[in-house]
Structure 1
Amino acid sequence: MKLFHLALAGFLSLAAFAGSAFSAAADEFLTIQLKDGPVVIQLMPDVAPKHVAQIEALAKKGAYDNVAFHRVIDGFMAQTGDVKFGNMTKGFDPQKAGTGGSDLPDLPAEFSKVPFTRGTVGMARAQDPNSANSQFFIMFADGDFLNGQYTVVGKVVSGMEFVDKIKRGEGQNGEVKSPDRMIKVTVGKK
């Protein structure tokens, strides 16, 4: 019986540790200040650890500040994060916005079973599944055709009404003339 209590105590300690580790991971947030208000994204390092780490590293050094929403398709998504060509105060190139990344390496895909629903944040990439770098998108609506094809990194937990106000693009690819931007992007715990 004593052995049972020791095993149970060990299990409960392990469960408490795992619970606190999950809580710590679940308390990582990206806050994007838009013209209309803040958007808070709960990051998912347990789902896509390499992608979340890269987003956090870029945000912490201010790389996402003033970056345009270069591709916005009504009823689908708003894409941003091109830190090379999308910074609207430093070298913005509307012809190249969406083709660049960062000075960090591209990442291997971290596909999961997390579905693309309204408010989901996913990593943009080229045709190669292992080409995500700094660009990401926020879903305006459900997009189950993306499930298992793109890496999910987070979910909007507040401010979706401000995402809905991002200026939409024109044309088939959603290119935006005079785009909205991420004014300031920060990382923190709740």
Structure 2
Amino acid sequence: MLSGLLLAAGLALQTPSPAPADQAQPPAGEWRTVAADNLLVIDTSQGRVLVELAPAIAPLHVERIRLLAGRGFYDGLNFHRVIEGFMAQTGDPLGTGDGQSPFPDLTAEFTFRRGPEMDFVAVSAPQGQQYGFIGSLPVATQPDALMGRTADGRVHGWGVYCPGVAGMARGEANDSANSQFFLMRDAYPSLDKRYTVWGRVVSGLEIVRQIKVGEGAGGMVPAPADRMTRVRVAADLPDGERPTVRVADTRGAAFRARLDQVRAERGADFSICDLDLPVQVEG
């Protein structure tokens, strides 16, 4: 799936940005709670990973992830392809990169249309674009000013492949994503607008980076591979097993102060991928 296309394209791995300094926790009132139906709980052999789904960005792919998680399709599947400095891929029942679910392939959602009703928080505007967040997801879009010039009152947008971003694997055809997905270990902007983004890890990025790395340029993992032990949407879990996740509100004063600090530290090298969002997890 993903491996053949990337290797054929000859893409170079991106050098990760330095990790930002520890940041102060926002005060009460500057947090938002992730809805239980938008929280994917991935229990792995290395620990728990929590992903905030982005249905406003990729509704078809989020619907597929929810469907497969609800049916237990992902339980026990290996991380069959893992590349250091890049990503960890899973979701293949065969474990070879050639397997998929019994459901039809999905239409690509590489980009989306952003309207004024979407909860978008801008953090920078280089070269006529805007970068910001929709929920916890880093996105790039055309400027707001263009909304008045388009037939639908919306502008073009796409997810940005920062660390922790969840993308859908596919074959050479754009509309060939099915069940396989990957979690970014580091930033890889060459994937932007080429693979559907459907969410972002809000807790457990360190777990994603601990998953056993594969061999050679293809990154295929020899046995025994790390695996997903159980994958469920939080809303489908019993109350006693359901985690509650709060993410720093990107509209809050604490986040804006952190943004100003990171922008000053990074200078001309500033990227939205330099920004971490504080998270509180209960349960």
Structure 1: gaps of 5 or more residues: 1-22, 87-96
Residue matched to 2:87:
77
Q: Could you tell me how far 1:36 is from its partner in structure 2? A: 2.5
> For the residues of structure 2 that align with 1:100 and 1:182, how far apart are their CA atoms?
16
Residue matched to 2:116:
none
> For the residues of structure 2 that align with 1:59 and 1:33, how far apart are their CA atoms?
12
Match of 1:132 among 171, 177, 182: 177
Is the CA contact 2:66–2:233 (under 8 Å) kept in the aligned structure 1?
yes
Matched, 1:107 2:106: yes
Aligned residue identity for 1:109: A
**1:48-74 deviation digits (Å, cap 9, x = unpaired):** 001110111001010000001010000
Q: Could you tell me how far 1:24 is from its partner in structure 2? A: 8.0
Matched, 1:65 2:81: no
Structure-to-structure mapping, 1:13-28, within 5 angstroms: 28=38
> For the residues of structure 2 that align with 1:154 and 1:24, how far apart are their CA atoms?
12
Is the CA contact 1:82–1:99 (under 8 Å) kept in the aligned structure 2?
yes
Aligned residue identity for 1:122: G
Is the CA contact 1:72–1:169 (under 8 Å) kept in the aligned structure 2?
yes
Matched, 1:31 2:77: no
| SS of corresponding position for 2:214 | coil
Matched, 1:147 2:157: no
Residue matched to 1:188:
234
Percent identity (aligned): 50
Over the aligned positions, Cα root-mean-square deviation in angstroms equals 1.6
Residue matched to 1:162:
207
Matched, 1:49 2:59: yes
> For the residues of structure 1 that align with 2:185 and 2:179, how far apart are their CA atoms?
20
Count of residue pairs brought into register by the alignment: 157
> For the residues of structure 2 that align with 1:161 and 1:106, how far apart are their CA atoms?
31
> For the residues of structure 2 that align with 1:45 and 1:168, how far apart are their CA atoms?
30
TM-score (norm 2): 0.54
| SS of corresponding position for 1:41 | strand
Structure-to-structure mapping, 1:3-14, within 5 angstroms: none
Aligned residue identity for 1:105: P
